[in-house]
Amino acid sequence: MQTELSKRLGVEHALFGFTPFPAVAAAISRAGGLGVLGAVRYTAPDELERDLDWIEEHADGRPYGLDVVMPAKKVDGVTEADVEAMIPEGHRQFVENTLAAYGVPELAEGEAAGWRITGWMEQVARTQLDVAFDHPIRLLANALGSPPADVVARAHDKGILVAALAGSARHARKHREAGIDVVVAQGYEAGGHTGEITTMVLTPEVVDAVHPLPVLAAGGIGSGEQAAAALALGAQGVWLGSVWLTTTEAGLPSPLLVRKLLAAGSGDTVRSRALTGKPARQLRTAWTDAWDDPEGPGALPMPLQGLLVAEAVSRIQKYEVDPLLGTPVGQIVGRMNSERSVQAVVDDLTRGFEQAVDRINRIAGRSQQ
């Protein structure tokens, strides 16, 4: 699975794996893809530095990247406490009432929420970048539009390619104008924040819109056959996220969540604002149903919603409250039916890719067999 982009980055396969788990990122790189660590959950620079050091030690010298969530525009002087103060009391009460309805215990006294989205904040994201630029990352991806111009310039000065996710051709053109090197066309099927255009439609639109920039296809891709289809649509690789959740290296702390992922079908996800305030595909649960109920208060805009539900999500995860327990995941969850190593996933992807290419060659009368 070699393309111009994969050759430029020095990876064997044009597989780009986004993951919040350092062990998965390193394993993807060792398997011949490009592991990309998600930074949004890191609030302390030393924690990110520790995990990037770990990846560097365990990637066997293979390239890897980092994914941040950084707005192109910022509001100076706004702290997390300032944002917290904007959350209406009625929404806080709704959270507590919902948790009480399902008997979710409180955290222990003094125990902080283990899940907190603060990486979206300008000052946090910049501390992440200060750490990242001291490491030999090959790709810097931004999940919230184009990063600020000075960040793009700083990355380019260090020889780092900059990627940005796009849910429409219009967004992709803005990335091109901002000097982005790689556009990730993320379709409706994807896990996490995603738009309303499907991958099959979006990919060729973005390819045409930003030519000759390389495009990665994302959303609903979890097999080699789908990867071959993405390249046939003009992409120079595939961006995979959900498929790594049930790998052995991910080591999800909740056995119940793993079982729910393995049992879920492709129709068991929903785009909901429950997690961050922006539409994000995730497992459908009683928690997402509560926030999507028109009789409820409705989700707050980003970043208020993420801060509002941080402790609640931690409580749900810690106590494994089945009706409420979920996670961001794409529609490809319907194919995630067993726990496998990252290497096994990559082997299956490359094998399926070869078979798909051979099948097309036979149809076209070009088979060498």
Task: Check pLDDT > 60 for residue 119.
Answer: no
Query: Across the strands, what pairs with 239?
Result: 16, 218
pLDDT tens for 250-290 read 999 899 999 999 999 999 999 999 998 999 999 999 999 99
Of 198-207, 298-307, 313-322, the range with the lowest mean pLDDT is 298-307
Dist CA 31 CA 109 (whole Å) = 43
Per-residue model confidence (pLDDT) at position 346: 98
Cα atoms in the 13 Å half-sphere on the side-chain side of 36? 28
Going by the DSSP 8-state scheme, the letter that residue 1 receives in this structure is -
The pTM of the full predicted model, rounded to 2 decimals, is 0.93
Residue whose structure tokens are 């794409």 = 330
- Model confidence at 247, in pLDDT bands (50, 70, 90)? very high
pLDDT tens for 218-233 read 999 999 999 999 999 9
Q: Helix and strand tally (H, E) in the chain?
A: 14, 11
Per-residue model confidence (pLDDT) at position 303: 80
Instruction: For residue 39, give the amino acid letter.
Output: A
Per-residue model confidence (pLDDT) at position 78: 63
